[in-house]
Amino acid sequence: MQQLERLRLMRGNSSLDASEETEKKVQTRGITVIDMLALQDVKQNLAAVEKMSGALRTHSDLYIVSTFRLPPKLGGVLLGFYNKQDNKKYLELAIMGKINKALVRYVRDDGKLHTVNLQSTNLADGRTQSIILRVGGLQRENLSLELYVNCRLADSAQRLPQLVALPEEAELVEIRNGYKAYSRLQGSVENLKLALGGTVASAGALTDCPFQGDSSSYNIGFHEPRSRCQPNPCFNGVPCMEIYEFPGYRCGPCPVGMTGNGTHCQDIDECAVAQPCYSPNACVNTVNGFRCEPCPPGYWGKPVLGVGLEYAKSYKQECLDIDECVEVAYACTANSVCINTIGSFKCGQCKAGYVGNQTDGCFPRKTCATLDFNPCHSRAHCIIERNGDVSCACNVGWAGNGNTCGVDTDIDGYPDLALPCMDNSKYCKQDNCIHTPNSGQEDADNDGIGDQCDEDADGDGIKNVEDNCRLVPNKDQQNSDTDSFGDACDNCPNVPNIDQKDTDNNGEGDACDQDIDGDGVQNVLDNCPKVPNPMQTDRDYDGVGDACDSCPEMNNPMQVLAVHKTLS
């Protein structure tokens, strides 16, 4: 409204004079033109209402002519005549920039509000537009509307109900322009005129449209009502049918695979709604339809693609597991175990009776029963080694190399008598203790009689039961520390040590070893005398090294007494 006020101020009195001069000129031709932007007081508004009321009773046509500029997708009421008491719309013209339509609303004879949509393009695009709204047939049974945009017929509506007459009291009618339904029109209105009577050509002269003669001579179809289905207002491919009810046409259903009201249709995402594919990620939504990616490796199924939600719900993709162990030749090495899994398979070991692996293959296992020649002794049994070699082992109570076996009385793996073995195996030698098991065949004095059955194992002339060194010859039986071990076999000959313990296995018993654990630190200085710890680490500084400390991070020096007590 501020924009309109500025326009009015700029026009000033000169604009009023020009308007009056224009009105006088057109009145000579039987046309009354009212500059709606020049109405400034009640008297001028009443005069305009009276002229409008008279025109509705006597004229066949009236024209609303305007030039305006609206930002994209904006609009509002351009001109309207209203009842001051109940806001009844006698006639209203609004521009709907968002949907590119001119909306005409008026009260019919029956008192109900009638609405007509007239279509156009780019009514609100930030550029200057000029329009002419022809309201024709005022004295006929049916009303007609024609919308001209930039001097060309944009749309029309025929066989409409008539307008209701304005009240006789002109002061009951209010004229509004430049208003939107709930806020002011956002843009600028350069001119707004109401022409009562005349032709389209005379109305076009008010906005510089070069119309000539009567409307019947225009090559833009005035008398032949334009079909409401041309151009087709429906979605591409949707049929249009003309009807008498508003808005004059009806669109058919949207194409299969789309949803909407026929005018506006959008694709249905069958993948999201019906989930027809084996996996949601395998579904590709297409225009009007969908398709499923092939089944993943390890599965099989028919390809699925179609159009529409019903098809997607009825025909789901099925991907079934392939049993590679049956369907795929040589999935695993021949003669091996094949295990089918969901979507895959795995290969196991060779089947029973076969040896090998998946890399080298599985071959028939060699068994003693399949041998062409049994190399084993009658008192031996056949053994097939892991590498496939054949070996023989004498049965219990018999000894030898397997190819030749003899009696083994004490069952220690050596025969009672020497055997004539070709490989000179030690297990073919005569047992040196026939009746006493001694699998090691130890013989300290090498007299052919094993230590286990030799009464004088070391051959020093002193029987074992009296000898203080059974396996070390010591005829003098000297025992300096009198600890049951002769000096010849005592690891501490001068210090009694009945247990002969030697922690570091250096041949010197702990009882006489100055470095028991052999870590290079003498016992008297070693914080772990029996556990090797050359670094002597002691984090809790309690005198006991971490290597033998029961609480290496907590000081507990009482361990020291226990350690030294053990040493003593």
Is the pLDDT at 213 greater than 70? The verdict is no
The amino acid present at 448, given as its one-letter code, is: G
Residues 374 and 358 in one domain: no
Is the pLDDT at 220 greater than 80? The verdict is no
Q: Is residue 230, in this structure, part of any structural domain at all?
A: no
Among 334, 365, 396, the domain boundary falls at: 365
Is the pLDDT at 84 greater than 80? The verdict is yes
Number of C-beta neighbours around residue 448 at 10 A:
9
| Dist CA 317 CA 295 (whole Å) | 9
Residues 137 and 79 in one domain: yes
> Which range marks the domain in which residue 316 is found?
270-321
Q: Provide the pLDDT for residue 24.
A: 46
Q: Provide the pLDDT for residue 527.
A: 93
Q: Summarize the confidence of residues 150-159 as an average pLDDT.
A: 89
Count Cα neighbours of 224 within 13 Å in the Cβ-side half-sphere: 7
Is the pLDDT at 221 greater than 70? The verdict is no
* Total count of domains within the chain: 5
Of all residues in the chain, what percent carry a pLDDT higher than 90? 54
336-384 pLDDT per residue, tens: 999 999 989 999 999 988 888 999 999 887 778 778 788 899 999 999 8
Is the pLDDT at 176 greater than 80? The verdict is yes
| Dist CA 188 CA 181 (whole Å) | 16
Is the pLDDT at 184 greater than 80? The verdict is no
Higher pLDDT, 445 or 30: 445
Q: How confident is the model at residue 11 (pLDDT cuts 50, 70, 90)?
A: very low
Is the pLDDT at 565 greater than 80? The verdict is no
Task: Classify residue 525 as left (phi > 0), alpha (psi -120 to 50) or beta.
Answer: alpha
Q: Is residue 264, in this structure, part of any structural domain at all?
A: no
**Direct distance between the N- and C-terminal alpha carbons of the chain, in angstroms, rounded to an integer:** 116
Residues 317 and 350 in one domain: no
CATH of the domain at 334: 2.10.25
CATH of the domain at 93: 2.60.120.200
* Range list of H helices, 206-308: 270-273
Q: Provide the pLDDT for residue 30.
A: 64
Among 152, 182, 217, the domain boundary falls at: 217
Q: Is residue 39, in this structure, part of any structural domain at all?
A: yes
Q: Is residue 444, in this structure, part of any structural domain at all?
A: no
Q: Provide the pLDDT for residue 567.
A: 56
Is the pLDDT at 57 greater than 80? The verdict is yes
| Dist CA 561 CA 568 (whole Å) | 10
Residues 293 and 417 in one domain: no
The tokens 């305007």 sit on which residue?
Answer: 66
Q: Is residue 79, in this structure, part of any structural domain at all?
A: yes
Out of 211-215, 323-327, 342-346, 472-476, which region has the weakest mean confidence (pLDDT)? 211-215
| Dist CA 156 CA 136 (whole Å) | 11
Q: Is residue 245, in this structure, part of any structural domain at all?
A: no
Residues 192 and 128 in one domain: yes
31-41 pLDDT per residue, tens: 899 999 888 88
Is the pLDDT at 332 greater than 90? The verdict is yes
Average model confidence (pLDDT) across the chain: 85
* Range list of H helices, 247-393: 270-273, 309-314, 324-327
Residues 295 and 404 in one domain: no
Q: Summarize the confidence of residues 526-539 as an average pLDDT.
A: 94
Q: Is residue 263, in this structure, part of any structural domain at all?
A: no
Among 173, 194, 217, the domain boundary falls at: 217
Query: Token digits for 382?
Result: 């056949």
| Dist CA 140 CA 379 (whole Å) | 134
Out of 230-234, 530-534, 549-553, which region has the weakest mean confidence (pLDDT)? 230-234
| Strand order from edge to edge, sheet including 143-149 | 32-35, 188-196, 61-69, 128-136, 143-149, 152-160
- Taken in order 318, 319, 323, 327, is the CA torsion positive or negative? positive
Q: Is residue 176, in this structure, part of any structural domain at all?
A: yes
Higher pLDDT, 89 or 248: 89
The answer, yes or no, to whether the previous bond of 280 is cis (omega within 30 of 0) is no
Residues 349 and 283 in one domain: no
Residues 213 and 124 in one domain: yes
Residues 305 and 386 in one domain: no
Q: Provide the pLDDT for residue 209.
A: 81
Residues 203 and 294 in one domain: no
* Beta-ladder partners of 174: 82
CATH of the domain at 398: 2.10.25.10
344-354 pLDDT per residue, tens: 999 999 998 88
Residues 392 and 357 in one domain: no
Give this prediction's pTM: 0.39
Residues 351 and 373 in one domain: no
Q: Summarize the confidence of residues 272-278 as an average pLDDT.
A: 92
- Taken in order 89, 93, 95, 99, is the CA torsion positive or negative? positive
Is the pLDDT at 222 greater than 80? The verdict is no
Q: Summarize the confidence of residues 381-388 as an average pLDDT.
A: 84
The tokens 């030799």 sit on which residue?
Answer: 454
Is the pLDDT at 6 greater than 80? The verdict is no
Q: Rg of the chain's alpha carbons, rounded to an integer?
A: 60
Higher pLDDT, 537 or 226: 537
| Dist CA 439 CA 471 (whole Å) | 18
